Amino acid sequence: MEFSAQQIAEFLGGEIEGDASVKVSYFSKIEEGKPGTLSFLSNPKYTQYIYESQASIILVNKTFKAEKEVGATLIRVDDSYASLAVLLSLVDQMKPKKTGISSQAAISDSAIIGENAYIAPFVYIGEQVKIGKNVRIYAGCSIDDGSQIGDNVCLYAGVKIYNDCLVGNNCILHSGVVIGSDGFGFAPTEDGSYKKIPQMGNVVLEDDVEIGANTTVDRATLGSTIIHKGVKLDNLVQIAHNVEVGDNTVIAAQTGISGSTKLGKHCTVGGQAGFAGHIQMADGTIIGAQAGVGGSIKEPNQRIQGSPAISMTKFYKSAVVIRDLPEIQKLIHSMQKRIEELENKLK
């Protein structure tokens, strides 16, 4: 399917600079641009490529100033990255969607399936499960008894949803996601062994949540583990029992959040961060990659880094000191030697 620069500009509300009739049928990275494709420039580090890119159309910010001639047709928009996301979503929505229920799926007679569902072979749907409209469930998924799935949900191959869990509308769960597995609850006994504590709660995913491949969200011991509206979890994230993640928070890969911790709204968590249990993060907290968060952050919009995590300002100052420690150590040894010499002279 082809689109002209004129059509794209009208759709995005952008300004054309160049040939408005040029057409594209696919996307490309700016450093690998090919004729007939659309690319974009958002990060200034890639500016050099715009002058040699073979892409036919390039989205740029309105503030972009070309230092020399650009061969491609430019479409100037307020935010080129956001505009690219809009176009990619449009193209994705135009792709044909699978429908129909495979005869090789195992579906309980008591399950309720909404209109226009696609259920692939080797899917298991348990008793009293409710599936909304326009849901796509790919091969090897399992939805256990009493769970509910909202409208326009996509479960990619191999997703496992344990019993009594709730998934809201417009959620996307990628392959290998496990929702509702037991929380890590064990009570120590007198003989040194551990007795399992039954996990009787569930998991609630609100609307517009997306969860990356092989991420796990444990069910609550009592009550619910809650992932609020608009949350985005990367691949390989571990969410423990009774955790609560606030609206529109994003969490990068390999992060682990211990039990009963609560993250506020609009938080950002870098990769490989770790959280102790029973702490709280205020709204807008930014946690750097590999941070070890052992205590609550009560003031909103704070930036923390390091292990144990401290404010990013202090972390960067500390990093400079750590870098210079060998020289500081030499200086201290030199000063100690001079002090000893002076003491000997005074004696």
Q: Coil, strand, or helix at residue 121?
A: coil
266 is catalytic: no
Q: Which residues pair with 297 in a beta bridge?
A: 281
Q: Are strands 57-61 and 148-149 parallel, antiparallel or unpaired?
A: unpaired
Pairing of strands 130-131, 148-149: parallel
The two structure tokens encoding residue 117: 């569902």
Residues 6+ apart with CB under 8 A from 169: 132, 150, 151, 152, 153, 207, 208
- Find the helix or strand (DSSP H, E) in which 253 lies: none
The size of the chain, in residues, is: 347
- Rounded to an integer, what distance in angstroms lies between the CA atom of residue 334 and that of residue 135? 72
Q: What are phi and psi of 245, to 5 degrees?
A: -115, 125
Answer yes or no: are the C-beta atoms of 84 and 39 closer than 8 Å.
no
Going from the C-alpha of 17 to that of each of 23, 33, 59, 98, the distances in angstroms are 14, 18, 10, 39
User: CA torsion 298→299→302→305, rounded to 10°?
Assistant: -30
Active-site annotation holder among 174, 241, 278, 333: 241
Tally helices (H) and strands (E) across the chain: 5, 40
* Residues annotated as catalytic (active site), given as ranges: 241
